[in-house]
């Protein structure tokens, strides 16, 4: 049999932590021999984006930042690679043919381009959990109607995806999301009141982008992941558990009706999840650190403390209330997080702001279109900003 045509990929958010890991996985799996890149997108880091473009020769490179258009254009002058910018540029990227799209833009900014790529029928490797938290069922439906697969990249959801056999879905009793506990796992609430961005971003096990690192410290990341899991796996809130597991070796678990619990384990390295999403239903060969159980010697578990980490309670509240509370939680949290990063809000106040906006907007009906989602997102942002100022 002859060689297969290279698979066509796009990487949204290629300059971020997940984006760079994705390019590394693509390189390990044969690079340009096996893959053809349709689009790469980044934001302000033009030097890196241009380097990636020269190496991977995509059809189109996009900076999300309109003001960086000229810089990107001149960085790639003479390369023959098309350049675009801003929201229209991102939508152009989404409109290119691709069989597989890595959705790794951070935050709600990733929603519109990812949704557009899904509607066109690409398989969506989803790192951008905000798509599911905000748009939930609408997003899942869009992927399904487009005809592509939804491949979870978030390590917890990828772990569940790995151990959840399609023909055993009826027997799933619960899922157990593991959480490292972050840098403040053992801190008192008094200590947490005054933490800085520098201490909050220092994740003990994973190396990630700034926002998700701080969300891990507040456990808002786990809150988003609970809502993400609900939509991905069609579960009810009571079926979603969280356990603190400081070593981050078990990436999550599925409990079945016969009492069995299946877990996926590995070194904390996002390339495992990315590679699984790329090679699915096969498994790639990747140079990930192998677990040495004798060296590990033990795995620890503890119940999460919802007093110090109210984000977990807010996730449950959002799931029980349903409607558009996921979008509200995510939008209010993003505004609060931005304010924390800029030194305008304390660490613990992020949850207070989020909860207040959630209460104010409780009872809104489920979104029937993406316009509803964007309207709620905007309203929640305005209210959160108003509370902070």
By CB under 6 A, residue 104 contacts ligand NAD: yes
How many residues in the chain? 389
Q: Read out DSSP for 39-71?
A: EEEESS-HHHHHHHHHHH--SEEEES-GGGHHH
Q: Are 78 and 48 in contact (CB under 8 A)?
A: no
Q: In whole angstroms, give the CA distance from residue 243 to residue 301.
A: 7
Name the residue number minimizing CB distance to Mg ion. Answer: 154
User: 250 touches which of Mg ion, ligand NAD, none (CB within 5 to 8 A by kind)?
Assistant: none
Q: Which does 105 bind (CB under 5 to 8 A by kind): Mg ion, ligand NAD, none?
A: ligand NAD
Does 89 interact with ligand NAD (rule: CB under 6 A)? Answer: no
Q: Which of residues 205-224 bind ligand NAD (CB under 6 A)?
A: 206, 208-210, 212
Distance CA 381, CA 24 (A): 35
Question: What binding mask, one character per residue, do residues 148-167 give for ligand NAD by CB under 6 A, x or -?
Answer: ------x-------------
CA torsion through residues 335, 336, 341, 344, sign? positive
For residues 310 and 355, give the distance between their C-alpha atoms in angstroms, rounded to a whole number: 9
Q: Residue 119: count other Cβ atoms within 10 Å of its Cβ.
A: 16
Residue 212 interacts, among Mg ion, ligand NAD, none and using kind-specific CB cut-offs from 5 to 8 Å, with ligand NAD
Are 83 and 73 a contacting pair, CB within 8 Å? yes
Q: Contact with Mg ion (CB under 5 A): which of 92, 123, 130, 154?
A: 154
Closest approach, Cβ 305 to ligand NAD, in A, equals: 23
Residue among 109 and 357 whose Cβ is closer to ligand NAD: 109
Query: Toward Mg ion, which CB reaches closer, 96 or 159?
Result: 159
Residues found near Mg ion in the complex (CB under 5 A)? 154-156
Residues found near ligand NAD in the complex (CB under 6 A)? 13-19, 42-43, 64, 104-106, 109, 127-130, 154, 206, 208-210, 212, 270
């Amino acid at each position: 049999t002859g060689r297969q045509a290279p698979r066509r990929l796009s990487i949204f958010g290629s300059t971020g932590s997940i984006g760079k890991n994705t390019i590394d996985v693509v390189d390990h799996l044969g690079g340009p021999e096996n893959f053809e890149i349709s689009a790469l997108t980044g934001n302000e880091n033009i030097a890196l984006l241009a380097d990636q473009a020269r190496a991977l020769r995509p059809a189109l490179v996009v900076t999300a930042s309109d003001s960086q258009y000229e810089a990107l254009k001149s960085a790639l002058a003479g390369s023959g690679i098309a350049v675009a910018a801003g929201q229209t540029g991102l939508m152009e990227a989404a409109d290119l043919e691709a069989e597989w799209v890595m959705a790794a833009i951070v935050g709600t900014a990733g929603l519109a381009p990812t949704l557009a790529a899904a509607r066109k029928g690409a398989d969506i490797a989803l790192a951008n959990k905000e798509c599911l938290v905000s748009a939930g069922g609408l997003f899942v439906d869009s992927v399904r109607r487009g005809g592509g697969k939804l491949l979870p990249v978030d390590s917890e959801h990828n772990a569940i995806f790995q151990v959840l056999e399609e023909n055993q879905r009826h027997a799933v009793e619960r899922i157990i999301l593991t959480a490292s506990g972050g840098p403040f796992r053992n801190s008192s609430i008094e200590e947490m009141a005054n933490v800085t961005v520098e201490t909050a971003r220092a994740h003990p096990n994973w190396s990630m982008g700034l926002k998700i690192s701080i969300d891990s410290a507040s456990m808002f990341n786990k809150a988003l992941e609970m809502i993400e899991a609900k939509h991905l796996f069609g579960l009810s809130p009571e079926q979603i558990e969280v356990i603190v597991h400081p070593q981050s070796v078990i990436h999550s678990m599925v409990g079945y009706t016969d009492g069995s619990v299946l877990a996926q384990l590995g070194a904390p390295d996002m390339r495992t999840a990315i590679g699984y999403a790329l090679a699915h239903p096969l498994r790639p060969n990747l140079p990930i650190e192998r677990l040495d159980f004798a060296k590990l010697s033990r795995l620890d578990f503890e119940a999460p403390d919802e007093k110090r980490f109210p984000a977990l309670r807010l996730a449950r509240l959002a799931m029980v209330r349903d409607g558009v509370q996921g979008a509200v939680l995510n939008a209010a949290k993003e505004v609060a997080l931005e304010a924390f990063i800029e030194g305008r809000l304390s660490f613990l106040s992020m949850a207070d702001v989020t909860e207040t906006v959630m209460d104010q907007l409780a009872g809104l009906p489920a979104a029937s279109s993406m316009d509803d989602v964007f309207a709620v997102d905007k309203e929640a942002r305005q209210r959160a900003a108003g509370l902070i100022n």
